[in-house]
Amino acid sequence: AQSVTQLGSHVSVSEGALVLLRCNYSSSVPPYLFWYVQYPNQGLQLLLKYTSAATLVKGINGFEAEFKKSETSFHLTKPSAHMSDAAEYFCAVSLYNQGGKLIFGQGTELSVKP
Amino acid sequence: DAGVTQSPTHLIKTRGQQVTLRCSPISGHKSVSWYQQVLGQGPQFIFQYYEKEERGRGNFPDRFSARQFPNYSSELNVNALLLGDSALYLCASSLWGEETQYFGPGTRLLVL
């Protein structure tokens, strides 16, 4: 069965610093991988996705993620944090023909200090 | 274009009551999925519907049911509400066969 682990329930960075949010997945077959962001009292917004094309995926708001099969990882990065990046971030995995089922990690809350 | 819409935005119910939540997908999207997000956790998959048929079901009791209408909108019903059903209920739509799902703002349900 597939699963997602996000290391660190809370990450704090200074404005302008590198953002690194970790995600590891477990899957018996190559998965589709996603990062979503959730601002307080809102739904989920898609940041980026990996669907077996390029391993380095660029998303919105300057975020990118790299799929590393050997490490079963899909870590999210941003070179320079902005105050507006403060939110909850979720990594998710799905398999083709699994009835649209996204499996989410527990989430990582990102705080950005001025 | 309008995104996924959900109604109501907030709801308060008491234990044992029944609730119906509504979702309208992005125009052109024929697949709708429902998720439950308990405070402090990631969303959990409940159902997926396509062409009015259930195409996937998560590990939820039979108190949870859903349906999809000819215009592809969907309703999620929860009977005999428990305190533990308090959560944010998220609806997502997608093109059939496309793995990317787009989420609505959610309905926050509080069961007292």
pLDDT band with cut points at 50, 70 and 90 for residue A1: confident
Query: What would the two tokens of residue A17 be?
Result: 């610093």
Q: Which of B83, B91, B72 is nearest to B111 (CA)?
A: B83
Which of the pair, A35 or A27, is modelled with greater confidence?
A: A35
Q: Which residue has the tokens 């590891």?
A: A24
Q: Do A34 and B48 touch (CB under 8 A)?
A: no
pLDDT in tens, B40-56: 899 999 999 988 899 88
Half-sphere exposure of A1 (CA within 13 A, CB side): 4
Q: Is the pLDDT of residue B77 over 80?
A: yes
Looking at every residue in chain A, the average pLDDT score rounds to 91
Mean pLDDT of A98-109: 86
pLDDT in tens, B6-43: 999 999 999 999 999 999 999 999 999 999 999 989 99
Residues 6+ apart with CB under 8 A from A6: A21, A22, A23, A89, A90, A91, A105, A106, A107, A108
| A44 reaches B (C-beta below 8 A) | yes
pLDDT band with cut points at 50, 70 and 90 for residue A42: confident
Cβ contacts of B40 on chain A, cutoff 8 Å = 107
Q: What is the pLDDT of residue A98?
A: 59
Distance from B6 to chain A by nearest Cα, in Å?
10
Percent of chain A at pLDDT > 90 equals 74
For residue A47, which amino acid is it?
A: L
Cβ contacts of A87 on chain B, cutoff 8 Å = none
- Strand ranges (E), A8-72: 10-14, 19-26, 32-38, 44-50, 56-58, 64-68
pLDDT band with cut points at 50, 70 and 90 for residue A69: confident
Cβ contacts of B107 on chain A, cutoff 8 Å = none
Q: Do A43 and B99 touch (CB under 8 A)?
A: no
Find the CB nearest B90 among A43, A96, A107. A43
